[in-house]
Structure 1
């Protein structure tokens, strides 16, 4: 992964005789181990000689508070799944304050030469830590900031907009995923440059397999149309469910990925109401190191976003396109 020019200049000044590797501390509001972009960037930096740690949010109570994954040290903020699924609904301010305090505290306790914030949800804690420690801050925007956040409170959204507009220009480097989003961010936040790092996975020669059919107990001749990725209302997944009765016999739609409990329940209720349980299957996400083996067992991949949903959807360049 190419290091942006401004950050590379800072590194050159700081890294003179220092024997230890430069320490990068990332923060993401969610499980880092299942976030493809986060882990791809972290492992790329690790391979380039950096010492990388990630402060993330985990809901699995049986996991260790700290663990090493692919040479990257993960430090978990343990939260209930109820918190993760409703963080922008009831008691949004209290929940937001709780995660802000805990994340900032853990970031400050983690030795770092560079802070790397993933998305708006990780920006404020990293900004506070970077300012207090007088370290550079990288903002990695996985999408157009604040465009699709499920925040119902207008004043909370206005507060976030105010904070982001003042923090982003103070970042040492800003990164995003596609050229149109980069152009819009330059214009919106009046910054000279936004670096582009696309969601491109490391190439692997994956042989065709049969994991999905075996896992679902489907006959060998069944054809599978696979959607993999976040299960969200903006992804137009209800269209796939409504299309299921119109498909030829022997075709099964598989929706595989993480999703908020309420939306997944609604999606399953729609499947039940249309009587297509045998035609549409919902599966949880699988670890990324085995994801492509599951992908290669499908017959066709699905991306069914509606271009009219939002600018984020219109301008996105998702992992699944390359996978």
Structure 2
């Protein structure tokens, strides 16, 4: 009898490639798979439609209603009142105070019988816990980030982190299967809640996304130039790009930078203004968002990719985003900021990665000048290409996920 796995995420299908990869891997391993996701981003809806039509596993899309935000604000007010009164905030109220359709996800997940429910992001944890209780199933959690460590100095963040910790503390101890997207994220969860350390499943991509052939090391029109690339769903001012632009102005090498992502908050305009003030107005461009499935192909056009995490939060210090592994699969060397997580990874990448300090643009400029050497860039590109094919790809990494799921079922059969 085939076991059933239900994956629950508060994001759109097209915004979370990790859900797609895990669903494909589990389905390919013989599980019946259902993915319950939200459907609230109209821009992504056409891509969601395409993914759903092509997926061999079942998709349930939960629309976000206008009342979701109203209900969330009401529960947040109630939670704040209880906090002021010194009353312990119930898990249900903490969960429903999130600005995501937690209640709708709980209702839909409970309607889908499964043997294992896997939550992506904290907002999905209440849904998988309730569904697992109803159907006598196992609970799983995939930590793409250290969610209770995402807080910054922004107003309201401390209270939001308290609500997240309330949910995590109540549910994570019951998880039979747990994975993390970086070693330090797994360690942070284990230490905070007294858990066994989750297996690390890196944010890598299938070999099928890689270009068929490695492109020349210098993709620019002439040696001594570097084309740099950074992408994200939303352009932000807390991702180290200001330091990189300042380094561009100090480098002897002519460095250009393409920034891809949504400029909905106007942060891209601020970066363009900074570049113009430094005489780099013709060297920094904003590019529109693109589908996650296109990112490896798009990255392959560049000489270097940027993974510039900052110290803005604990999560940013210990995460490993998919940028690094997108560049490697494309055969593009990586410039990484010197955070604990990236510093831990760097030795395994050798010349394919360069660590830099965002506090020292002059030193970063020297790094760019050194990388612009034709021989060094060729060596770095060749190694990035090899690492992407031999080590950092989903064809290999999915085995960690499958082993963790199989082990959870095996423990249950043994009565552990």
TM range, smaller chain: 0.7 to 0.9
Runs of at least 5 residues in structure 1 that lack an aligned partner in the other structure:
1-17, 214-218
CA contact (8 A) 2:248 2:254 kept: no
CA contact (8 A) 1:140 1:175 kept: yes
RMSD (Å), alpha carbons: 3.5
**1:119 partnered with 2:121:** yes
User: 1:242-261 counterparts in 2 under 5 A?
Assistant: 242-246=246-250, 251-257=255-261, 261=264
Deviations 1:173-193 (A, max 9, x none): 221122222222222111234
Greater gyration radius: 2
Q: How many residues align?
A: 290
Aligned to 2:241: 237
Q: For 1:83 and 1:146, how far apart are their aligned partners in 2?
A: 26
Q: For 2:114 and 2:262, how far apart are their aligned partners in 1?
A: 30
CA contact (8 A) 2:110 2:127 kept: no
CA contact (8 A) 2:186 2:199 kept: yes
Choose from 183, 188, 193 the match for 2:187: 183
Provide closer, same or farther for how the CA distance between residues 310 and 159 of structure 1 changes in structure 2, counting only shifts above 3 A. Answer: closer
Q: For 1:256 and 1:69, how far apart are their aligned partners in 2?
A: 26
CA contact (8 A) 2:143 2:185 kept: no
**1:76 partnered with 2:78:** no
* Cα drift, residue 39 of structure 1: 1.6
- Provide the TM-score with structure 1 as the length reference: 0.75
CA contact (8 A) 1:24 1:51 kept: yes
* Cα drift, residue 234 of structure 1: 3.6
Structure with greater helix percent:
2
Aligned to 1:267: 268
* Cα drift, residue 118 of structure 1: 0.6
* Cα drift, residue 290 of structure 1: 2.7
**1:53 partnered with 2:34:** yes
Aligned to 1:315: 318
Provide closer, same or farther for how the CA distance between residues 90 and 277 of structure 1 changes in structure 2, counting only shifts above 3 A. Answer: farther
Runs of at least 5 residues in structure 2 that lack an aligned partner in the other structure:
77-95, 327-416
Provide closer, same or farther for how the CA distance between residues 233 and 165 of structure 1 changes in structure 2, counting only shifts above 3 A. Answer: farther
CA contact (8 A) 2:237 2:267 kept: no
**1:304 partnered with 2:285:** no
CA contact (8 A) 1:241 1:271 kept: no
* Cα drift, residue 167 of structure 1: 0.9
User: 1:1-323 counterparts in 2 under 5 A?
Assistant: 18=1, 21-58=2-39, 59-60=41-42, 63=46, 67-79=52-64, 93=76, 96=98, 99-149=101-151, 152-153=155-156, 154-204=158-208, 205-206=210-211, 207=213, 223-230=226-233, 231-246=235-250, 251-257=255-261, 261-262=264-265, 265-272=266-273, 274-275=275-276, 276=280, 278-306=282-310, 308-323=311-326
